[in-house]
Structure 1
Amino acid sequence: MKTMRMLFLSVVLALCAGLSLSAQRRGGGPPAGPPNPFQGQPQAIEQGREIYNQKCTVCHGFDGSAGEMGPALGLEGRRFALQSPSEIFGAIKNGIPATAMPPTPDMPDDDIWKVAAYIQALRGTAIDAPASGNVALGEEVFWGKGECGKCHMIRDKGGIIGPELTSVADIRKTASIVDALTNPAYRVQGDGGAIPRKLEPPNTYQAVRVTLPDGKVIRGVLKNEDSVSLQLLGVDDNRLHLLDRGKVKDVQYERTSLMPRDYKNRLTAEEFQGLVAFLTRQTRKEGKAAQGAGR
């Protein structure tokens, strides 16, 4: 019995030593270290963003993007070796052996924790790290100049052509929201993890143009079809059109989305940033939008 206990103790010690060596090689602190005291605090996360952009962008890119010497820290479709708050804290404070990641012995621990909170927020969805900007201006742009409300609904207000956006910040990353506004090749992203960076658009928003016998054209989103009929939601009238295939002149399935992708050209820089700030705060999580509001 004593021999068995000694053997069990030896195995446990070997496992602990192996985990410790693995952590040293990987860099960072222990996976099960202390929680981040600033996790989920919008003001602290914003401070972490500022510290990161001031001190970390020598190697990494601004706002968590890839830099000339360092990788992106919030890239979609990537699994990260250092995930827990203590691992990220340790990597910033102590560096990562055998890599270009240096230690930062002069950075206060509170600042390191704030940067770690910001990095973890980047790996979450938009509501975890809402974009900075004039939220009130962004809301005005959404319902006015941007004409977003013609197709999209927020809290029972707006159009029904496009996806409902009341909780878009809960399910999309900020980069995905920006991409949807600016990138003609945009595809719907997943919510993180090992997924392709670009996915095919959902067929529920297939744009279609139908020409009637009298020459009238109805453009909209295809909702249903079979060999004898089709149904589409009209862009101009928000009405559901039920059409007999035998009584239409032509049906064209458009390859481009109805969603404009040129908002950086349509809007001023301040308006665009405000729109992103507004969208990245659209959540169903109680208290989150209010905490993240402001410039």
Structure 2
Amino acid sequence: MRTLTALAIGWITCVALVSAQNPERRPRPLPSNLPETSPFTSATDLEIGRKLYQGRCGHCHGQSGEGGRGAVLNAGNFRRGGSDRELFVTIRNGIPNTEMPGAFNLPDIEIWRVVGYVQQLARQGTAERSAGDAVAGAMVYQKNGCATCHRIDAAGGFIGPDLTDIGAKRALRYLRESIVDPSADIPLDYRLVSVTDRRGRNVSGIHLNEDEYSIHLRDIDGNLRSFMKTELTGITLPRQSLMPAYASLPPVDVENLVAYLSSLRPARRP
């Protein structure tokens, strides 16, 4: 199996060309006179914003902004800025290299209405607090070797998601589920793929990208691997996480670990 440097460059070029030919999937230029505050704040605007949010955003962020696979929105803390204008830009253009897509096809007036409803959630909501002990949870994290795959402040592995600010991004219930049943909701950037070559050798890792001719993954040692599909006899995408389930952990350890992860925010940590 050989490294496909030229093919990788070609793949990137193709992606760029496809993006150029599909401008509706690219961020639109911002209006030159974009206001700092939303011009659409009536009760009708907020009701329309609520319906848009629940239909487009609630699946990831929670119907009340409590978070899920998307960031918590009802605690009043927004990592990319919480002004109306900043929220408008984030919703309109999305966040590159994350699962947060841009609302490329949504009219600006409707984006403003979603902004208004998100601000309402931020004012009315309260941040969840775990009943666990964050300091004890840090010990659970170390004892169970979580740093082998995950990293916090650049310390740790690269196979699993970066947990540096996970407390600001995920709700308690999502953190808890991710510990005891990680395969229940696998982040798109961490889907498992397994390939088998003509000699029967198997390589598993994180699916990075794929086209008609090749597939690229990051193996469990963190190495980037590229394969021509003509060299392979099988490609499978198991619906399971590389992370083992910790359902057998004592409930108190699970809750303490949840408390520790929830404390990992841009602000101070225990």
Normalized against structure 2, the TM-score is what?
0.51
Shift in Å, 1:160: 1.3
For residues 177 and 79 of structure 1, the distance between their equivalents in structure 2, rounded to whole angstroms, comes to 15
Shift in Å, 1:263: 1.8
What SS does the corresponding residue of 2:140 show, helix, strand or coil?
A: helix
For residues 234 and 204 of structure 2, the distance between their equivalents in structure 1, rounded to whole angstroms, comes to 12
CA distance change for structure 1 residues 263 and 78 in 2, over 3 Å: closer, same or farther?
A: same
Q: State the partner residue of 1:34.
A: none
1:147-202 CA deviation, whole Å, 9 max, x = no partner? 32222211101111222111111111111211222246633xxxxxxxxxxxxx54
Shift in Å, 1:122: 10
For residues 279 and 169 of structure 1, the distance between their equivalents in structure 2, rounded to whole angstroms, comes to 6
Alpha carbon RMSD of aligned pairs, Å?
3.0
What SS does the corresponding residue of 1:272 show, helix, strand or coil?
A: helix
For residues 231 and 136 of structure 1, the distance between their equivalents in structure 2, rounded to whole angstroms, comes to 39
Where structure 1 has 5 or more consecutive residues not aligned to the other structure, the ranges are 1-74, 84-119, 188-200
What SS does the corresponding residue of 1:139 show, helix, strand or coil?
A: helix
For residues 184 and 154 of structure 1, the distance between their equivalents in structure 2, rounded to whole angstroms, comes to 19
Superposition map of 1:88-167 within 5 A: 123-124=125-126, 128-145=127-144, 147-167=145-165
For residues 123 and 258 of structure 2, the distance between their equivalents in structure 1, rounded to whole angstroms, comes to 16
Percent of residue pairs bearing the same amino acid type: 26
Q: State the partner residue of 1:209.
A: 194
Q: State the partner residue of 2:208.
A: 223
Shift in Å, 1:249: 2.4
What SS does the corresponding residue of 1:140 show, helix, strand or coil?
A: helix
Which of 77, 91, 95 in structure 1 is aligned with 2:63? 77
What SS does the corresponding residue of 1:136 show, helix, strand or coil?
A: helix
Normalized against structure 1, the TM-score is what?
0.47
What SS does the corresponding residue of 2:266 show, helix, strand or coil?
A: coil
Given that 2:183 and 2:239 are in contact with CA atoms closer than 8 Å, whether structure 1 keeps it comes out as no
For residues 79 and 284 of structure 1, the distance between their equivalents in structure 2, rounded to whole angstroms, comes to 19
For residues 268 and 275 of structure 1, the distance between their equivalents in structure 2, rounded to whole angstroms, comes to 11
Shift in Å, 1:123: 4.1
Q: State the partner residue of 1:180.
A: 178
For residues 235 and 65 of structure 2, the distance between their equivalents in structure 1, rounded to whole angstroms, comes to 43
CA distance change for structure 1 residues 123 and 133 in 2, over 3 Å: closer, same or farther?
A: same
Superposition map of 1:22-41 within 5 A: none
What SS does the corresponding residue of 1:164 show, helix, strand or coil?
A: coil
